[in-house]
Each structure stands twice: as structure tokens, then as C-alpha cells.
């Protein structure tokens, strides 16, 4: 493997990219504006959107005359369990529009309407346990980016963004409405999606479109287009097209959303009460129909959900996802090629994640909130060029100066699913205040990150209906006093298909590479990951939906001394997903591991592993029952050698549902380690209790405890949507800390109550 560490490897990477690019060009190229061929035999499906000039009442009934008289888009086709077969249940889809809205009417016939599954109702709920519909709208017809809208028989509103032909941002919220209605023939759904909620090129009358229906009790999925095992619904390149979108309007394209936020804090240590309130403003303006300017002033994130607890048993950073709405809106445009390869379910991540821009660096510092005075964001498209610009001004706090933090991102799309891009970030969110003296390092300090990336992708690899993705990238950071060993670069090739999957990833992260507005999991290493999966689908009569078999190898080599720091082999021997919905995810998975510590490592308070080499082989067993059941559970056990001793980790989950309003879930994750250096237990307990009065009023309660911090926390959250775009939030938080030596003895800490009222004016 010496060639991986030599300069020849770079030439090999670019040679591979050139060969792959030639393959993409030679393969049938599908122009974004022209009818396309999916693979070699399947023509693009097309449907007409009927223009109407009468009022459509959104009640789920589909009883107005336009629904009855307008043409249907055609039959859907079964994807699972028998790709290409006729559906067992009929689905009729009709599309209408007036100048302000796109209307989608769906009649889901069901031969057993009493067995239709619908357990969720809250906004942005996870609909996996339910019968459901998902609509894809590729408004730019670029076969890469799209909006999606989902619902279930309860009328839950779920929406998000699709980017890079399969990646999703599930936290995007639009103003739209859907209503559903059950009958003795099945259930129907009526969508109304305002054109003001979408971006699209001016004058374009053809959009990409797809729709998927899942019948959960039989695990059957049917689609309008792309009904093949290896094609996921979020692969925008497989969408069909809808026509006749003429005379549609966005109005002025201005949304003004003022808000009033108030917080109450009761300090447990002093007994003092602090009350703060402030007004603020969010504005969204479409500079063009496809380019949006977003502004936030006197920003407040009081309604944001708390992070899930984690205990870090590694010597590297752990990742917490972004949850704040301003940063989540249109976040996909800022994604970089380092995040472009997903691992199969159950396979651990690489442990070498890199984000040149990670929005949690803005407005948060060491877990504490940093006030934001204002933020400005420009996102969208100009032709086939995607643009993302973000500038945020943070307020000064003790020990940290006020900052202007900047991110710029551009991607030039070419061919059907490929792009070349660049990214730049500037600013240090932890910069110390300047003394005002000329030459003060804090006054003159500068920090930036710059890089380029390329993605080459196709769903018609080698002329067949197969997906293939190649990513390559390079990044460099610039910090005062650091001018060497401050780069990171790599490549990944991914063959993500249903029966066979394969990937190779290689990246180098130099020891001084440190993007101040980004996230790096580990440094001073060179990583190689090789992996593949074989996932056959037996006949449905076998009772098995799909079988998964994976082998993944990961190795880290130190850059400073050339020694191997870590290698891991992960082998999934037995992973069966049954037609009942139950799964045997692991039956004695093997994970041979090698670790070399170059310095002592404190794995738990008071338990220090000495420097040296460690070899151990944990094994794993994991079962889950079907999500469609009222009582659903999971249990996992990892056991065997662990560093210098042994350990076992027990994971349990139990969820009980009273559809469609109430659910309760309890989860535990406990590691019991016995090492020569000392024994320890790492525990995380959590419980989620949710109650939805309707899709517009929901109550959620999250209780969490981990024994590393000894902190027990409660967050209760109420979201009341008066109408789409107008919301009231109530969030209560309470903390307790565990007393030393008392398992059930807790001392009350701070109490918090936040309220927020926001109202949207559309022009």
C-alpha cells in the first residue's frame, strides 16, 4: 500500500476522474430541457397540469368538478416487492393549477380500508410506520435539486429539500397545506402548494415530477417513474415531467415574518429570576424567481429542539447536527463533496468527517449561545450555477469579540448530475477581543478556508440502469502563524445500487488543517476505506424482503511517522429484513479492531489507557420489530474484547402508539467496561412523549439523562400553527444534577421558559 502515500496517488486520482468523465460523456447525455431516456428502454413519462379558474376547497374530498373531469397522470408502477409489476392497490393522481397554486389530488384505493396505517400527525413527523405519499417537484428541471412534500392518511405535513440527486434537508419548512379524507374505498389527499413557496425559472412551463405511494402493511411501494430496486425516490434524475405550467405567478416574492420572543430563566443556584424579551424580523425576497435573499435581524432560536445526549468513548470529536431554522433553510447548497458518500445502514461512519462549513460554529460557542445581531443569506440558481452566500454578525460576549462570519459557495452543474464547485469561509467565531494596540494578535488575526470539489455522477453507468458517483476535493486553511501542513484533500468512488454496492474513499487530513467555521473529526492522518455489499432479494413467498451482507475495511495512517494508528474490519454476515417488517439486523457481526495510542487516553474519568498497541474484536447482535405495530421494540448487544479488557453495550428501544395522537418511546444505551486500568459504566437514558391534537397543534416532551455529566434534563415543546406560516411556540426546560453517591438524588438546576410568536405577511 506504499503507493497510497506517494505523489503517484494524486496522478492516479485524476486519471480515474478523467476516465470516469469520459464514460459520462460517452454515455447517453440527458439535456435538462429535453425529453430524456432512463437507461436504454424507459422513455420519460409526461403529464399535463390542467389550468383551472374556479376555487378549489382544500378538504381532502376531491369532489369539485375539475378533479373529476381532468386527466389522470397514468398508472403507478410497483417498485417493491416486485419491480415493474402492476400495483395490488390502485392509485389515481390528478394535477391542477391556477395562477397562485399547484394542486395535487390523490385517490389511494385500498381493498382493506380498515387496515390503512396512520400513527403520526405532528408537523414534520417521521412517517416510516405509516401508509404515505411523497411528491417530488424538480422546478428547475435540472435532475439534481427538488422540493418534496409528504403526507399520510392523518394529513401530517412533512416537507424538505433534495440536493445532489439524493441528499435531503428534512428541516426545510414551506407554507403549504394538505388535507386527507378516509372512505370505504381507501383514503384521499388534496395538496395545495403556493408558487410563492417555491423557486423556479421564469417562463419555464415544464417541471420534473414524481410521486410515490407506500402501503405499509404489505411493504409495497409504487411510483410514477423510476420504479426499480436501485432507484430511490429522492433521485431527482429519475423524475418524469409535468407540462402546461403557464401563467403562474410568485407575486412580489416577498415574505416578511416579524416575531416576538420572550425568555424567563430561574437560576437554581441563586434563586434569581431573569426575564428578557425582544422583537425580531425574518425576511425572504426572491430577487429573481430562482434566487432568494434571506435576512434575519435580532435573531432568536428559542424554539429549537435540544440535542440528543451522547457519551464520547473515542479520542476524537463527535458530531451534533444543526437544528436552527435560519441555517437549515437552503442548507444543501453549502454541502461539500466530503459529505457525498453515505454508508449502508448499520455500517459505522469513517470517523474522519470533514465539513469546511459547519453552521453550528455560528451563534454557539462551547455549548453557550452567542447573540446574533443579523444574518444575510443569498441562495439559489442563475442558469445552471448554484450560489450560496452567508454573512452573520455576532455580538461580543465576555472573552469573545463581535465577529463578521462569511461563507461563499458556488457550484457549476454540467452533464446530468455532475458539478464543479468552490467554497470559501472567513472569520473566527472564538476570536478574542482586541486590546486596541497596533500589532495585537487578536486585532490582526485572520482565519479562512478555501477549497474546490468535483462530483461526477450518473444513473446510466455503462449504459445500464445503474448509479455511479465519483467525488474529489481539496481544502486549505489560512491562520495567522500557520503556513504549512494546513491542507486536506481526497476522493471517493461510490457504486450505490440495490443488489450490489461498493465504495472506495481516500483522504488526507494534515495536522494543522483547522477550519474555524467547519468541523474536523481527526487530523494528522491519511484514511483509506474499502467496502462492498451484496443485498439479494429472495422471492416474496420466502417471507424475506431483502438480505444484506457487508464487508468494510478502514485504515488510518499517521502522517508524521507513517505508522498505522487505527484499522477496522466490519463484516455483516446476517442481516435479514422480513416481509412482516421485522428485522434481524445483526447476528454476530464481527468488528476486528486495531488501535495504537501514541499517548495515554482517558476513556472515562479516572480510567486512563497507557500508550501502546491494542487489538480487540467486538461482536454484535441487533433485532428490531416492525414499525407498523402499536408496540414496537429493538434490542442490540455488543460484546467481547474492548481495548485492554472486555465490555458489553446494551441498546434497547420501546415505543408504544395510540394512533393517531399519542406515542411514547423509551431508549437506553449502556456500556459496561472492565479494564485493568479500571471499570466504568456509560449510561444514556431518554424518553419521548408526544401528543398531537391535529397536524397544527402538537406537544412533545423529551427527558434525557447521562451519567457522564450526571445531568437530567426535560424539554417540553408546544407548536401551534394558527395557519401555515403563523406559529406560536412554548418551550419549557428544566435541569437537575445528580448528587454524588445518590442514584435517585437530584438537585434542581435552572428552569427556562421561552415563548415565540411569528406571523408571515406574503406579498
Classify the C-alpha dihedral 535-538-542-544 as positive or negative.
positive
Query: Which three three-digit cell numbers place residue 479?
Result: 491562520
Query: Which three three-digit cell numbers place residue 267?
Result: 437560576
More confident residue, 19 or 427: 427
Domain assignments of the chain as residue spans, ordered by start: 31-243
| pLDDT tens-digit map of 658-711 | 988 999 999 999 999 999 999 999 999 999 999 999 999 999 999 999 999 999
| pLDDT tens-digit map of 343-361 | 888 888 898 999 999 998 9
Provide CB contacts within 8 A for 70, sequence distance 6+.
Answer: 50, 52, 94, 95, 96
User: Is the pLDDT reported for residue 607 higher than 90?
Assistant: yes
Query: Residue 198: helix, strand or coil by DSSP?
Result: coil
User: Is the pLDDT reported for residue 149 higher than 50?
Assistant: yes
pLDDT of residue 254: 92
Are 176 and 197 in contact by the 8 Å Cβ rule? The answer is yes
pLDDT of residue 43: 82
User: Is the pLDDT reported for residue 48 higher than 50?
Assistant: yes
Give the CATH number of domain 31-243; options: 3.40.120.10, 3.40.190.120, 2.60.40.1190, 3.40.50.1370.
2.60.40.1190
More confident residue, 249 or 367: 249
Query: Which three three-digit cell numbers place residue 39?
Result: 437507461
Classify the C-alpha dihedral 590-594-597-600 as positive or negative.
positive
Distance CA 693, CA 671 (A): 38
Question: What DSSP state is assigned to residue 396?
Answer: P
Mean residue pLDDT across the chain: 89
Quickly count: other Cβ atoms within 10 Å of residue 117's Cβ: 19
pLDDT of residue 42: 66
Query: Residue 336: helix, strand or coil by DSSP?
Result: coil
Are 362 and 405 in contact by the 8 Å Cβ rule? The answer is yes
Quickly count: other Cβ atoms within 10 Å of residue 544's Cβ: 17
More confident residue, 436 or 302: 302
pLDDT of residue 28: 35
User: Is the pLDDT reported for residue 3 higher than 90?
Assistant: no
pTM: predicted TM-score of the whole model, two decimal places: 0.84
Length of the chain: 763
| pLDDT tens-digit map of 714-736 | 999 999 999 888 999 999 999 99
Residue 41 burial (CB < 10 Å; 0-12/13-18/19+)?
exposed
Provide CB contacts within 8 A for 300, sequence distance 6+.
Answer: 259, 261, 278, 280, 756
pLDDT of residue 289: 84
pLDDT of residue 303: 79
CA-based nearest residue to 310, from 711, 679, 609: 711
Longest dimension (CA), the chain: 79
pLDDT of residue 25: 35
Q: Of 86-95, 163-172, 197-206, 436-445, which gets the smallest average pLDDT?
A: 436-445
pLDDT of residue 23: 41
| pLDDT tens-digit map of 519-540 | 999 999 999 999 999 999 998 8
User: Is the pLDDT reported for residue 15 higher than 50?
Assistant: no
pLDDT of residue 173: 86
pLDDT of residue 438: 46
Report whether the peptide linkage leading into residue 660 is cis, meaning its omega lies within 30 degrees of zero.
yes
Give me the torsion for CA of 549, 347, 553, 459, rounded to 10°.
70
> Which residue has cell 409526461?
46
Backbone angles phi, psi at 754, to 5 degrees: -125, 140
User: Is the pLDDT reported for residue 336 higher than 80?
Assistant: yes
Query: Residue 312: helix, strand or coil by DSSP?
Result: coil
User: Is the pLDDT reported for residue 2 higher than 60?
Assistant: no
Query: Which three three-digit cell numbers place residue 523?
Result: 487530523
Grade residue 32 by pLDDT with cuts at 50, 70 and 90. very low
CA atoms within 13 A on the CB side of 506: 13
For 206-341, strand residue ranges (E) read: 207-215, 220-223, 240-243, 254-266, 273-288, 291-297
Are 337 and 455 in contact by the 8 Å Cβ rule? The answer is yes
Grade residue 202 by pLDDT with cuts at 50, 70 and 90. confident
pLDDT of residue 434: 62
Amino acid at each position: 500500500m506504499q503507493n497510497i502515500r506517494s505523489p503517484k496517488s494524486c496522478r492516479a486520482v485524476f486519471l480515474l476522474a478523467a476516465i470516469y468523465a469520459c464514460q459520462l460523456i460517452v454515455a447517453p447525455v440527458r439535456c435538462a430541457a429535453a425529453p430524456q431516456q432512463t437507461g436504454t428502454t424507459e422513455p420519460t413519462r409526461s403529464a399535463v397540469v390542467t389550468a383551472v379558474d374556479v376555487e378549489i376547497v382544500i378538504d381532502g374530498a376531491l369532489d369539485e368538478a375539475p378533479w373529476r373531469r381532468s386527466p389522470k397522470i397514468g398508472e403507478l408502477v410497483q417498485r417493491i416487492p416486485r419491480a415493474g409489476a402492476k400495483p395490488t392497490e390502485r392509485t389515481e393522481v390528478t394535477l391542477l393549477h391556477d395562477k397562485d397554486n399547484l394542486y395535487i389530488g390523490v385517490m389511494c384505493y385500498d381493498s382493506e380500508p380498515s387496515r390503512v396505517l396512520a400513527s403520526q400527525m405532528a408537523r414534520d413527523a417521521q412517517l416510516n410506520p405509516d401508509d404515505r405519499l411523497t411528491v417530488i417537484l424538480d422546478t428547475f428541471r435540472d435532475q439534481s435539486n427538488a422540493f418534496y412534500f409528504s403526507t399520510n392518511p392523518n394529513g401530517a405535513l412533512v416537507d424538505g429539500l433534495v440536493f445532489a440527486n439524493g441528499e435531503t434537508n428534512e428541516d426545510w419548512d414551506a407554507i403549504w397545506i394538505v388535507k386527507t379524507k378516509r372512505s370505504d374505498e381507501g383514503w384521499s389527499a388534496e395538496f395545495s402548494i403556493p408558487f410563492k413557496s417555491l423557486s423556479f425559472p421564469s417562463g419555464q412551463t415544464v417541471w420534473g415530477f414524481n410521486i410515490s405511494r407506500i402501503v405499509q402493511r404489505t411493504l409495497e411501494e409504487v411510483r410514477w417513474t423510476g420504479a426499480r430496486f436501485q432507484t430511490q425516490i429522492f433521485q431527482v434524475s429519475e423524475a418524469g415531467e409535468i407540462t402546461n405550467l403557464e401563467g403562474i405567478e410568485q407575486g412580489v416574492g416577498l415574505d416578511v415574518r416579524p416575531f416576538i420572543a420572550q425568555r424567563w430563566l430561574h437560576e437554581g443556584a441563586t434563586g434569581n429570576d431573569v426575564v428578557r424579551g425582544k422583537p425580531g424580523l425574518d425576511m425572504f425576497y426572491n430577487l429573481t424567481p430562482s434566487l432568494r435573499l434571506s435576512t434575519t435581524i435580532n435573531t432568536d432560536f428559542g424554539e429549537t429542539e435540544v440535542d440528543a445526549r451522547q457519551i464520547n468513548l473515542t479520542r476524537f470529536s463527535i458530531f451534533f447536527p444543526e437544528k436552527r431554522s435560519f441555517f437549515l433553510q437552503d442548507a444543501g447548497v453549502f454541502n461539500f463533496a466530503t459529505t457525498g458518500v453515505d454508508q449502508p445502514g448499520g455500517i459505522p461512519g469513517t470517523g474522519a468527517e470533514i465539513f469546511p462549513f459547519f453552521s453550528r460554529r455560528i451563534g454557539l460557542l462551547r455549548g453557550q449561545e452567542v447573540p446574533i445581531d443579523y444574518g444575510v443569506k443569498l441562495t439559489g440558481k442563475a442558469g445552471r450555477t448554484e450560489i450560496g452566500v452567508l454573512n452573520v454578525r455576532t455580538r461580543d460576549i465576555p472573552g469573545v469579540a463581535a465577529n463578521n462570519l462569511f461563507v461563499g459557495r458556488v457550484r457549476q452543474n454540467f452533464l446530468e448530475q455532475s458539478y464543479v464547485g468552490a467554497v470559501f469561509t472567513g472569520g473566527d467565531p472564538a476570536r478574542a477581543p482586541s486590546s486596541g494596540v497596533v500589532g495585537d494578535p487578536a486585532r490582526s488575526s485572520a482565519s479562512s478556508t478555501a477549497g474546490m470539489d468535483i462530483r461526477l455522477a450518473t444513473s446510466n453507468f455503462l449504459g445500464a440502469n445503474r448509479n455511479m458517483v465519483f467525488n474529489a476535493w481539496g481544502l486549505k486553511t489560512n491562520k495567522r502563524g500557520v503556513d504549512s501542513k494546513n491542507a486536506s484533500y481526497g476522493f471517493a468512488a461510490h457504486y450505490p445500487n440495490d443488489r450490489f454496492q461498493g465504495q472506495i474513499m481516500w483522504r488526507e487530513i494534515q495536522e494543522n488543517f483547522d477550519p474555524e467555521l467547519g468541523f474536523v473529526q481527526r487530523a494528522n492522518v491519511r484514511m483509506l476505506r474499502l467496502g462492498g455489499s451484496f443485498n439479494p432479494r429472495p422471492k416474496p413467498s420466502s417471507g424475506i424482503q431483502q438480505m444484506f451482507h457487508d464487508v468494510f475495511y478502514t485504515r488510518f495512517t499517521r502522517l508524521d511517522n507513517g505508522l498505522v494508528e487505527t484499522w477496522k474490519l466490519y463484516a455483516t454476515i446476517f442481516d435479514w429484513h422480513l416481509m412482516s417488517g421485522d428485522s434481524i439486523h445483526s447476528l454476530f457481526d464481527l468488528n476486528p479492531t486495531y488501535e495504537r495510542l501514541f499517548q495515554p487516553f482517558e476513556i472515562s474519568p479516572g480510567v486512563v489507557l497507557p500508550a501502546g498497541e491494542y487489538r480487540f474484536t467486538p461482536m454484535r447482535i441487533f433485532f428490531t420489530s416492525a414499525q407498523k405495530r402499536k408496540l414496537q421494540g429493538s434490542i442490540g448487544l455488543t460484546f467481547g474484547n474492548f481495548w485492554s479488557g472486555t465490555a458489553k453495550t446494551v441498546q434497547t428501544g420501546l415505543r408504544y402508539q395510540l394512533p393517531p395522537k399519542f406515542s411514547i418511546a423509551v431508549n437506553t444505551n449502556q456500556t459496561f467496561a472492565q479494564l485493568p486500568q479500571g471499570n466504568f459504566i456509560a449510561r444514556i437514558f431518554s424518553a419521548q412523549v408526544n401528543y398531537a391534537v391535529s397536524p397544527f397543534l402538537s406537544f412533545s416532551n423529551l427527558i434525557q439523562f447521562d451519567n457522564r455529566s450526571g445531568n437530567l434534563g426535560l424539554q417540553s415543546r408546544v407548536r401551534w400553527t394558527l395557519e401555515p406560516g403563523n406559529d406560536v411556540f412554548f418551550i419549557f426546560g428544566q435541569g437537575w444534577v445528580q448528587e454524588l453517591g445518590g442514584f435517585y438524588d437530584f438537585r434542581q438546576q435552572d428552569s427556562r421558559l421561552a415563548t415565540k410568536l411569528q406571523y408571515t405577511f406574503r406579498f
